[in-house]
Amino acid sequence: MFAGFFSSLIAQNNNVSEAARRRHQRRNCDQCVTIINGRIYPVDNWSLGGAQIIADERNFSLEEEINIILKFKLSEDVIEVPHSARVVRKGRSKVSFAFRPLTQKTHSSFQHVIDDYVTSQFAASQRPV
Domains of the chain (ranges; CATH) run 18-126 (2.40.10.220)
Closest CA to 110 of 51, 22, 39: 51
Choice between 10 and 85, residue whose per-residue pLDDT is larger: 85
In Å, what is the CA distance from 53 to each residue of 70, 75, 119? 11, 22, 25
Single pTM value for the model: 0.76
Does residue 18 carry a pLDDT above 60? Answer: no
Average pLDDT rounded to a whole number, residues 107-112: 95
CA–CA distance, 44 with 107 (Å, rounded to integer): 20
Does residue 1 carry a pLDDT above 60? Answer: no
pLDDT, mean over the chain: 86
CA–CA distance, 41 with 55 (Å, rounded to integer): 6
Average pLDDT rounded to a whole number, residues 80-91: 96
